[in-house]
Chains A and B, each alone.
Chain A
Amino acid sequence: MERSILHADCNKFYASVECLHRPEIRSKPVIVGGDEDLRHGIVLTKNEIASKFGIKTAEPIWQARQKCPDLVVVKPNYPLYLRFSALTREIYADYTDQIEPFGLDECWLDVTGSGIFGNGMTIAEEIRRRVKFELGITVSIGVSYNKIFAKLGSDYKKPDAVTQITKRNFKDIVWPLPAQNLLYVGRSTAARFRSCGIFTIGDIALCTPEYLHMLLGKTGYMYHVFANGLDNEPVSKMGNKAVVKSIGNSSTAPRDLENEQDVKVLMYVLGESVARRMREQGFCCKTVCITVRDNALLRIERQGKLPAYSADTGEITKKAMELFRKNYNWRRPVRSIGISCTDFEQEDFPAQLDLYGCAQRRAKAQRLDKTVDELKERFGNFCVQRGLMLTDRGLSGFNPYSENVIHPIGYFKPQ
């Protein structure tokens, strides 16, 4: 049986929610942007009017202001966006329980078995109308028989529109689109395609899988499947959480980090948050990975293994600092830092002990960490702090733990 899959994409999500709540800025060019004083000043979303000035997502706010001096810059209000994201999903849930979010503002819905409400197009039209009436924002929806074409459909006509891509019309709609519109064709893959004379999704579809494999390795097969509409990835059920494979935090510092002491402060703030989130999930990790970006935006990423599985803040952060020392040459000051942990095991997993009592020390450190976690849970993040944090309040005075926002994850679920 042919599936009926919808991909619903909230148009200019953050900006639309802000404009709904502030009627006075609706007729002006609006962007939602990070805090410029904290140097998080990039455009997160813009409304239709701001787009007409050529303002692009992710460009610096000062640059956007040069394009449009009357620009209204709004600070992001994540709790509000989370509420609206949940409200859209409540509407979707009236039609199916197969709802797979892709970030806050996008979802796939499988409505194959929802015939009682009509076919895919009828349901899509109804959702589009309801979201507009009930939430005051707009969605564009793609209707198709696989997730990839449904997503292309939702991008095809915006805002507030429904596009259907069927087995009969996909060659007319999908194939003429540029290769880069296909999911997972990024800048470098697109460049690789171009160098071989592949410009459109149709061009990809007409290549043999073997040729694409030769060109790009095993992802080549994936692109062949995507471009020909052969993808049969299911839409997962609501509430099915993907298996967590890594936990990380990163932050752009409010000022450039000039020396190792500065880096250490930020590293400990991040390390504490990452280790705490890991303990909350009942994990311990073997691999620590750091990313460092200097003030010319050059980025390095390095990883290393711990001697044993651990969820100890000190151990993880020490490893992160060791990786930093080994790999960073201080040619330029540091702008942002990230730590992430992977290779998880359950914390009660039977571990190999050693003769020198390291396990005992580790258990003791972990008990201390857990006590501190409980204190922080009850009395707030800043109730117990390391002495190090007091050396620079400007750098340590933020809380990545509660400001942690989950952004889109990969399309493929871990097997």
Chain B
Amino acid sequence: MARKVYVDVLIKQDREGRITPLSITWEDGRVYEIDKITRVCNAASLKAGGAGIRYTCVIRNKETFLFLEDNKWFVESKT
């Protein structure tokens, strides 16, 4: 089971309205740059409990799911 952690996200929004997350600020203030987004789709997070738009992000060579649920962002924390 994972913990649902709401995070601050820095995003870029282009003139078409498309949103691209650039970095995530963790609960303790550490900032993680998103190196690449490999997939965007609607999906549920069974691990953390929720559903929304799921961004598959590559951060420091690791794949992480970042969810936009309604108007809040969360990630599935392993701790």
Contact = CB atoms under 8 A, between A and B. Distances in A.
B43 A133 contact: yes
Interface string B31-57: 000000000011111111111000000
A183 to B, nearest CB: 31
A contact residues, range: 10 to 19
A87 B2 CA distance: 24
Given A23-B1, A24-B1, A83-B70, A133 B49 contact: no
A133 B51 CA distance: 9
B66 to A, nearest CB: 16
A23 B48 contact: yes
A206 interface: no
A132 B44 CA distance: 8
Interface string A1-42: 000000000000000000011111000000000000000000
B70 A20 contact: no
A22 B49 contact: yes
A79 to B, nearest CB: 10
Nearest to B1: A23
Contacts of A134: 41-44, 51
B44 A21 contact: no
A120 to B, nearest CB: 23
A136 interface: yes
Nearest to A21: B49
Nearest to A20: B49
29 contacts: A20-B44, A20-B46, A20-B49, A20-B51, A21-B49, A21-B50, A23-B1, A23-B2, A23-B46, A23-B47, A23-B48, A23-B49, A83-B70, A84-B51, A87-B51, A133-B43, A133-B44, A134-B41, A134-B42, A134-B43, A134-B44, A134-B51, A135-B42, A135-B44, A135-B51, A136-B44, A136-B50, A136-B51, A137-B44
Interface of B: 1-2, 41-51, 70
